[in-house]
Amino acid sequence: MSNSNPQHPMVAASPSTHGQPLAEADAEAFRIAQDEYEREATGLELIASENHTSRAVREAMSTYLTNKYAEGYPGARYYGGCEVVDRAEDLARTRVKQLFSAVHANVQPHSGAQANQAVYQALLQHGDSVLAMDLNHGGHLTHGHPKNFSGVFFKFTGYGVNPETGRIDYDLVRTKARELRPRMIVAGASAYPRAIDFATFGEIAREVGALFFVDMAHPAGLVAAKLHPDPVPHADAVSFTTHKTMRGPRGGTVLCKEEHKKKIDSALFPGVQGGPLMHVILAKAVAFGEALQPSFVQYQTQVKKNAARLGERLLERGFRLVSGGTDNHMVLVDCRSKGLTGKDAEAALGKAGLTVNKNLIPGDPEKPMVTSGVRIGTPAITSRGLKEAEIDRVAQWIDEAMAARNDEARLAKIHGEVRDFCRAYPLP
């Protein structure tokens, strides 16, 4: 595990016993870290919301900045000694504003869910009505699930995709918006394989006098690379996760218009969170810096090419894809086309060293713990260097593993092949 935190030079250099490397200080915890490295290195991560961070991002997360309390914002903190971490937060904010041509950025959200919570808290009153993507059609828990804070405090109504095309029905969104006159319209999804037309959403929101919020958690990296429509010019606020296609540390960010910046910042802190994770904010700065490089555009271009190729190859093998294909980094497979539930497909692929997640598909008759679909994404395997030719091999393994779902020996044999293949594609 030469790339991992335990050997971080700053940690290893400390002379006290408190400064022992993890491997010596806590063998049990070290084993877990090593086992996760092994798991990631010897299988293929096809979960659309995951990625492989760079060494630089992981190193930033293991720095001394984790020790620092910094409630407040740069230049206005509730603690002394913030002059160094202020530079980290300023660097992250400057870079992300440049990346997305945004007026204001808040890089403190611990997660995408907390970024969304801050946006709702800043711009809505409890009980306000919100129009968002239906959870069964690819929306996120924070878009109104009854057990999530969003569904508890606000009145969500869902819009969905056209059952025939699998694409968002913008006419239906407009009709529902006119009927409902919501305080806010939310665009963005966790399992939608097509580009989202933020300009049309923005028009609809303006027509009905609603605020427009975009949760671009999934396609943020593609947006940064200008390979997906850009929500920033159209939305009052935009949130995203930094760990999906953005390939940074786990966390969230909110971008917003000038007129909302005070409300958003104070909703995030002290509204939703306490002290920010300054080591993670440093890592966000590193990831945003990486995203400003031309190599990031090349990477995202390949992510999209790989997803398109995977879709084509699966269609050739008789799989049904929701919407018939993809414009982004994922495909949504209807496993019924191969006689499986999403749950059984996830299990079979897992035994073959191919990690995916089961996912509801539009009109799914199954429960969320079973589902009829699996979501398959290319961000992580593209970070390892897989290109079209290797994607063909991945499609073959997916097909073989799903066919061999009751054949443990065959699944183990495929896992062996995947493991051998992975040797040529080490983790970053």
> Quick one: 104 or 218, whose CB is closer to ligand PLP?
218
50, 379 contact by CB (below 8 A): yes
Choice from 52, 77, 137, 218 touching ligand PLP (CB under 6 A): 218
Residue 380 contacts ligand PLP per CB under 6 A:
no
Q: C-alpha distances in angstroms, 345 versus 51, 72, 358, 369, 370?
A: 21, 46, 8, 12, 10
> Quick one: 44 or 189, whose CB is closer to ligand PLP?
189
Amino acid at 312: E
> Quick one: 112 or 276, whose CB is closer to ligand PLP?
112
Q: Please provide residue 72's backbone torsions phi and psi, each rounded to the nearest 5 degrees.
A: 110, -160
Residue 142 contacts ligand PLP per CB under 6 A:
yes
Q: Compute the C-alpha angle 325/328/334, nearest 5°.
A: 40
Let me know if 241 is a catalytic residue. Answer: yes
Let me know if 392 is a catalytic residue. Answer: no
CA–CA distance, 392 with 199 (Å, rounded to integer) = 35
Residue 215 contacts ligand PLP per CB under 6 A:
yes
> Quick one: 6 or 362, whose CB is closer to ligand PLP?
362
Q: Out of 26, 50, 63, 69, which one is annotated catalytic?
A: 69
Q: Out of 244, 358, 375, 405, which one is annotated catalytic?
A: 244
Binding window for ligand PLP (CB under 6 A); candidates: 204-212, 215-223, 320-328, 377-385: 215-223
314, 371 contact by CB (below 8 A): no
Q: Out of 241, 253, 341, 382, which one is annotated catalytic?
A: 241
Bridge-partner residues for 333, per DSSP?
321, 374
86, 74 contact by CB (below 8 A): yes
The minimum distance between CB 240 and ligand PLP, in angstroms, equals: 8
Let me know if 244 is a catalytic residue. Answer: yes
* Closest to 288 (Cα-Cα) out of 246, 243, 329, 245: 246
Residue 249 contacts ligand PLP per CB under 6 A:
no
CA–CA distance, 121 with 283 (Å, rounded to integer) = 26
> Quick one: 49 or 355, whose CB is closer to ligand PLP?
49
Q: Please provide residue 253's backbone torsions phi and psi, each rounded to the nearest 5 degrees.
A: -145, 145
The minimum distance between CB 242 and ligand PLP, in angstroms, equals: 9
Q: Out of 71, 86, 392, 399, which one is annotated catalytic?
A: 71
Residue 49 contacts ligand PLP per CB under 6 A:
yes
CA–CA distance, 324 with 335 (Å, rounded to integer) = 13
Binding residues vs ligand PLP (CB under 6 A) = 49, 111-113, 116, 140, 142, 188-190, 215, 217-218, 241, 252
Which residues are part of the catalytic machinery?
69, 71, 215, 241, 244, 250
